[in-house]
Amino acid sequence: MADRAGDLAGDLQHAGPLARGAALLRLLATAGRRGAALSTLAQATGLAASTTHRLLGQLVAQRLAMQLDDSRRYAIGPMAYELGLAAAQQFDIRGLCRPALEQLALEAGETAYLVLCSGDEAVCIDLAEGPSAVRVSTLQIGSRRPLGVGAGGLAVLAALPDDEAARILARVADRVALEWQFPAAALRRSVHDTRRRGQALIRNRITPGVTALGQAFHDSLGQVLGGVSVAGANARMTEPRLRALHGRVSQAARAIEQALKGHQWARLGSPG
Contacts 24+ apart (CB under 8 A), 261-266: 261/220, 262/220, 263/93, 263/96, 263/219, 263/220, 264/219, 264/220, 264/221, 265/91, 265/93, 265/219, 265/225
- Asked if residue 105 and residue 235 are part of one domain, the reply reads yes
Q: How far apart are CA 172 and CA 146, in angstroms?
A: 6
Q: How far apart are CA 29 and CA 36, in angstroms?
A: 10
pLDDT band (50, 70, 90) for residue 84 = confident
pLDDT band (50, 70, 90) for residue 91 = low
Query: Are 256 and 103 spatial neighbours (Cβ–Cβ below 8 Å)?
Result: no
Q: Which of 50, 85, 120 is the last residue of a domain?
A: 85
Give the pLDDT confidence score for residue 99 in this predicted structure. 96
pLDDT for residue 12 is more than 80: no
Q: How far apart are CA 115 and CA 246, in angstroms?
A: 18
Q: Which range among 44-53, 74-83, 219-228, 243-252 has the greatest average pLDDT?
A: 243-252
* Rounded mean pLDDT, 126-145: 80
* Rounded mean pLDDT, 119-147: 84
Q: Which of 35, 58, 85 is the last residue of a domain?
A: 85
Percent helix, strand and coil across the chain, each to the nearest 5 = 50, 20, 30
Higher per-residue pLDDT: 260 or 246? 246
pLDDT band (50, 70, 90) for residue 1 = very low
Q: What's the distance, CA 257 to chain centroid?
A: 19
Q: How many structural domains does the chain have?
A: 2
* Rounded mean pLDDT, 68-77: 88
Please, what's the b/e burial string for 86-114 (b: 16 or more CB within 10 A of its CB; e: otherwise)?
eeeeebebeebbbebbbbbbebbbbbbbb
Give the pLDDT confidence score for residue 134 in this predicted structure. 63
Q: How many percent of the chain have pLDDT more than 90?
A: 58
pLDDT in tens, 190-226: 999 999 999 999 999 888 899 999 999 998 888 899 9
Give the pLDDT confidence score for residue 264 in this predicted structure. 61
- Asked if residue 176 and residue 50 are part of one domain, the reply reads no
Is residue 153 a part of any domain in this protein? yes
Is residue 269 a part of any domain in this protein? no
Query: Are 147 and 154 spatial neighbours (Cβ–Cβ below 8 Å)?
Result: yes
Helices 38-45/4-12 angle, 10° precision: 70
Average pLDDT, the chain: 87
| CA distances, 195 to each of 17, 53, 155, 239, 271 (Å) | 39, 43, 8, 19, 20
Domain boundaries, position 40: 4-85
Is residue 184 a part of any domain in this protein? yes
Give the pLDDT confidence score for residue 137 in this predicted structure. 67
